Chains A and B, each alone.
Chain A
């Protein structure tokens, strides 16, 4: 029974990891860029939710909605300023460009908010399902994560800009030839990736304490999830998130919690060595 409740708890967390990783996977799929500014997008959203909740007493989920829009705009801005110029350069350039964004924004965040830990003091009580008792914020977070993922898929598969994004991901040159405005589409894709990262950051803030540097940890988890699900395959990222969440939930039953990262990153390295296209396989 203990096993079951750990597993369910881990799976709920897995949805949130999955959403964070979808953002990274989408950006990789469309423009072959590993977004190393993922961490600050998560952290800024955490602090946004924290500040809106504490100063304006706004409902955290409304705050997350606002931060999602902010994330979208931040993503478009980051793409325009830092990435557009080097989008066709070797990967060293794009890695370093997004990393420099992360450095700049982390520096600003540290100056504004210091390193001290924060938490959003918000509770939805707990929900009992038979023998399992779960904190309400976790359950709602998983639901919001699923909604966000579903929304993104609807956007990608049911709207014109979504179709453009898939076209650019498939073959940018060919898409340009048939009149897809590829620059705007690249910026939009980066913005969408940033938006889902922001949503996951806001969700995590509703139940875990965090500080300015917390984003790094979740960024690393996003890498693991992306590689589990196959880089560039957003649906795989969601499944990868569930696998990671389940592992995180279950491993501590058998071994001390501090060993969890060793397994996570060990697994990550093993998968990237033997199956770089991911367990589920990338789309191309």
Chain B
């Protein structure tokens, strides 16, 4: 690490995630742990969405399908085939990656709003298909036999393990996100975002670059899916493919600053904490969706670069730390 100063940008992201894990370990309260489980999940998912949305500039309204499909595949392997959770998570990631590859080949040639529309269609088709797919339990979904948790030291222990595994995955996501951002591959993606035709002229092989960015961004949600639904104990089409969550992820990325490594992390943390607060507050609990909507509208209209982007523009000296 002779050139450690070059990698200052990785410092804050790693510190935040390690901080969350250590903080939860120190307090030791299951309730805190559960609250931060959703935060870490949001960080990992938002960071992965950022690779296609922020770096490459393609608006996907269907990012959650990778989480849902991975979750379904992994859950099916654990509950019906008796696989271990760890293998099932890898299988979920692989399934999501394959889907992203095929989808990428099919729809990534569409630009702008056409791509966004196609992803909305894919999300709806996927949810409708799984609802009708009997091996996955159709509309009722699947349940996990409680015995399964015995292998992982009982239900309580399994919940705790799941949290630290998720922290590990979140850490991997932000490191991957950072590595892409600082690599030549990432530079190519950013060029595609700014002007795809110009990028191609300059030698970026746009179709390949986009597809691989899409595949990488899909694998992480695919791995998290089985873990999340294993912890839940059941899976239903409605929980696995909520269009709403795809949108919430976009809000998180926009809030923190799209196209930055730190942005999705801050955005996800802030959004999840705010949502938790709104849901429990007596005044806002009925209109928490509206509050989130107002927040999104204000960002889109007045701070399109998000918090991190705004700070980077305002204080250029911070750019080294705020990647």
Contact = CB atoms under 8 A, between A and B. Distances in A.
B125 A82 contact: no
Nearest to A111: B286
B291 interface: yes
B131 A107 contact: no
Interface residues of B, number: 40
Interface string A1-39: 000000000000000000000000000100011100000
B59 interface: yes
Interface in A235-284: 256, 258-259, 261-262, 264-266, 268-269, 272-273, 276
A82 B132 contact: no
A272 B121 contact: yes
Contacts, number: 129
Contacts of A28: 113
A268 B59 contact: no
B59 A86 contact: no
B191 to A, nearest CB: 15
B116 A91 contact: yes
Interface in B102-128: 106-107, 110, 112-114, 116-118, 120-122, 124-125, 128
Interface residues of A, number: 46
A100 B223 CA distance: 29
B185 to A, nearest CB: 22
B110 A262 contact: no
Contacts of B117: 34, 223, 227, 272
A60 B289 CA distance: 30
Interface in B230-255: 243, 247, 250, 254
Contacts of A268: 121, 124-125
Contacts of B250: 96
B194 to A, nearest CB: 10
Interface in A182-203: none
Contacts of A67: none
Of listed A86, A96, A99, A258, residue having the most chain B CB within 10 A: A96
Contacts of A264: 128
Given A103-B290, A111-B287, A276-B114, A93 B304 contact: yes
B79 interface: no
A163 interface: no
B15 interface: no
Nearest to B105: A273
Contacts of B296: 96, 99-100, 103
A103 B292 contact: yes
A177 interface: no
A262 B128 contact: yes
A162 B250 CA distance: 36
Given A34-B116, A272-B117, A104 B297 contact: yes
Contacts of B120: 220, 223
B132 A100 contact: no
B300 A32 contact: no
Given A34-B116, A92-B59, A100-B294, A269 B107 contact: yes
Interface in A50-95: 82, 85-86, 89-93, 95
Contacts of A104: 289-290, 293-294, 297
A269 B118 contact: yes
Contacts of B106: 269, 273
Given A100-B297, A220-B124, A272 B114 contact: yes
Nearest to B285: A111
A102 interface: yes
Nearest to B123: A265
B122 A269 contact: yes
Contacts of B290: 103-108, 111
Interface string A128-157: 000000000000000000000000000000
A171 interface: no
Interface string B271-313: 0000000000000001111111110110011001000000000
Contacts of B83: none
Nearest to B289: A107
B132 A259 contact: yes
A165 interface: no
28 contacts: A34-B113, A85-B301, A86-B300, A90-B57, A92-B53, A92-B57, A96-B250, A97-B300, A102-B293, A103-B247, A104-B289, A106-B289, A106-B293, A107-B288, A107-B292, A107-B293, A110-B286, A220-B124, A258-B128, A262-B129, A265-B122, A265-B125, A266-B125, A268-B125, A269-B107, A269-B118, A269-B125, A272-B114
A-B interface, 3 closest residue pairs, ranked by CB to CB distance from nearest? A107-B290, A103-B293, A107-B289
Given A106-B293, A227-B121, A259-B132, 6 more contacts: A89-B304, A92-B53, A100-B293, A100-B294, A102-B293, A276-B114
